[in-house]
Amino acid sequence: MSPGASTEDTFRRKDLLGLRFLSAGEITHILDVAEQFRGLNTRAVKKVPTLRGKSVVHLFLEPSTRTRTSFDIAAKRMSADTFSISGSASSTTKGETLLDTAKNLAAMHPDIIVVRHRRAGGAMILADALPETCIINAGDGACEHPTQGLLDLLTIRRALGGFAGRTVTILGDITHSRVARSNIWGLTKVGAKVRVCGPPTLIPMGLEEWGVEVHHNLEEAVRGADVLMALRIQQERIPRGGHFFPTLREYSRLYGLNRDKLRRWARKDVVIMHPGPVNRGVELEPEVIDGDWSVILDQVENGVAVRMACMYLVLGGERAAAREGRG
Ligand code: CP
């Protein structure tokens, strides 16, 4: 199925490329399926036969700790066979293109390729070129990181009970952040109000047209928000010699969160999130990362269940289960 609009309350796509392509119903359905998988991750025996006989290739051409491990754990807990390829260990270092790499991998008939690539649109190119292989976008440049957006939504839904009437403030480097884009698409679709806050140089022009409130003053962005989601400055996407703020110390003074700012401006029950990796002492002080407000490790935990749900759904698991009278 092409990445066009859908109003369905289920998920019937071959690929998961971005939250901008999904309806609120599809997003909610993925979260509901992830919720069902969550329990498996704390059982004594963490294995089900759901994807037995399926093979999953993790093609990570950019560094990753959480996403890659979480996809691998998720696939193995569903009994799939998994194969990992990193940028430094692949033939892309010898000049092979992403598309040629993927076509060669597809010739070995994996069922899913999970791909992370530094260029926006990398996953979409593979989805179009490989009709027999499900493609899951694990981050494409500054464009989207849909499974991160979904795990963030699941974490918010679990913490707050829903999205209606809730305000989520996304703080920091919005311009270079695929996490910000996926969250903005996802949160606005399911009915949350989204604010972004950062220096003008790190917020793209025209975000208001997405239905997003734009702030440059941290206090205004924090007051009344239910969730504060801090983002790392994406140094790897900032062109060499690019200067978006005077110094890290200045950035942290104006846009970093510490206990004092939270006590003065934030709701008592505010929820602090961060997709990781965190630069301690820059966007968040350690007392915030490790404090009672933080659900940062809940995000990581929920990531495994979300990735189980995504792999299960792109492979048509629900349709197969229904055909066999199990759905
Ligand atoms: N949140 C996230 O994508 O982390 P990794 O880069 O470690 O996968």
Please indicate, yes or no, whether residues 139 and 285 belong to a single structural domain of this protein: no
Query: If you take atom 3 of ligand 1, which residue's CA is the nearest one?
Result: 67
The closest-lying atom of ligand 1 relative to the alpha carbon of residue 63 is 6
Q: Across residues 125-136, what is the average pLDDT?
A: 96
Q: Name the average pLDDT for the chain.
A: 93
Asked if residue 252 is part of any domain, the answer here is: yes
Ligand 1 centre to CA of 56 (Å) is 19
- pLDDT of amino acid 317: 78
Whole domain around residue 38: which residue ranges?
A: 19-145+303-320
Please indicate, yes or no, whether residues 212 and 295 belong to a single structural domain of this protein: yes
Ligand 1 centre to CA of 304 (Å) is 13
Q: Across residues 128-149, what is the average pLDDT?
A: 97
91 lines ligand 1 (CB under 6 A): no
Asked if residue 327 is part of any domain, the answer here is: no
CA distance readout (Å), 83 to 108, 142, 219, 298: 12, 25, 46, 26
Please indicate, yes or no, whether residues 52 and 182 belong to a single structural domain of this protein: no
Q: How confident is the model at residue 1 (pLDDT cuts 50, 70, 90)?
A: very low
What H or E segment, with its residue span, contains residue 40?
A: none
Ligand 1 centre to CA of 74 (Å) is 15
| pLDDT single digits (tens) 64-102 | 999 999 999 999 999 999 999 998 888 988 999 999 999
Its pTM stands at 0.94
Strand partners, 228: 169, 272
| pLDDT single digits (tens) 20-66 | 999 999 999 999 999 999 999 999 999 999 999 999 999 999 999 99
- pLDDT of amino acid 241: 63
Asked if residue 281 is part of any domain, the answer here is: yes
Q: Is the pLDDT of residue 4 over 80?
A: no
317 lines ligand 1 (CB under 6 A): no
Q: Is the pLDDT of residue 268 over 80?
A: yes
Q: Is the pLDDT of residue 2 over 50?
A: no
Please indicate, yes or no, whether residues 135 and 157 belong to a single structural domain of this protein: no
Please indicate, yes or no, whether residues 292 and 166 belong to a single structural domain of this protein: yes
Least trusted range by pLDDT, from 1-10, 103-112, 215-224, 307-316: 1-10
Please indicate, yes or no, whether residues 34 and 139 belong to a single structural domain of this protein: yes
137 lines ligand 1 (CB under 6 A): no
Q: 277: domain CATH number?
A: 3.40.50.1370
Please indicate, yes or no, whether residues 93 and 195 belong to a single structural domain of this protein: no
| Both tokens assigned to 111 | 């069922």
Ligand 1 centre to CA of 264 (Å) is 31
Asked if residue 9 is part of any domain, the answer here is: no
Number of neighbouring beta carbons within 10 Å of residue 47: 12
302 lines ligand 1 (CB under 6 A): no
Please indicate, yes or no, whether residues 272 and 157 belong to a single structural domain of this protein: yes
Exposure on the CB side of residue 102, measured as CA atoms within 13 A: 29
Q: How confident is the model at residue 327 (pLDDT cuts 50, 70, 90)?
A: very low
Asked if residue 1 is part of any domain, the answer here is: no
| Residues contacting residue 122 through CB under 8 Å, at least 6 positions apart | 61, 98, 115, 137, 140, 141
Asked if residue 12 is part of any domain, the answer here is: no
Please indicate, yes or no, whether residues 68 and 205 belong to a single structural domain of this protein: no
Please indicate, yes or no, whether residues 35 and 134 belong to a single structural domain of this protein: yes
Q: Across residues 310-317, what is the average pLDDT?
A: 94
Asked if residue 326 is part of any domain, the answer here is: no
Q: What is the amino acid identity at position 122? A: G
Q: What is the amino acid identity at position 239? A: P
Domain count, the chain: 2
Q: How confident is the model at residue 325 (pLDDT cuts 50, 70, 90)?
A: low
Ligand 1 centre to CA of 117 (Å) is 12
Q: Across residues 143-153, what is the average pLDDT?
A: 98
Distance of CA 204 to the CA centre of its chain: 19
Asked if residue 283 is part of any domain, the answer here is: yes
Q: Is the pLDDT of residue 289 over 60?
A: yes
Please indicate, yes or no, whether residues 291 and 201 belong to a single structural domain of this protein: yes
Nearest to 39 by CA among 318, 311, 309: 309
Please indicate, yes or no, whether residues 155 and 125 belong to a single structural domain of this protein: no
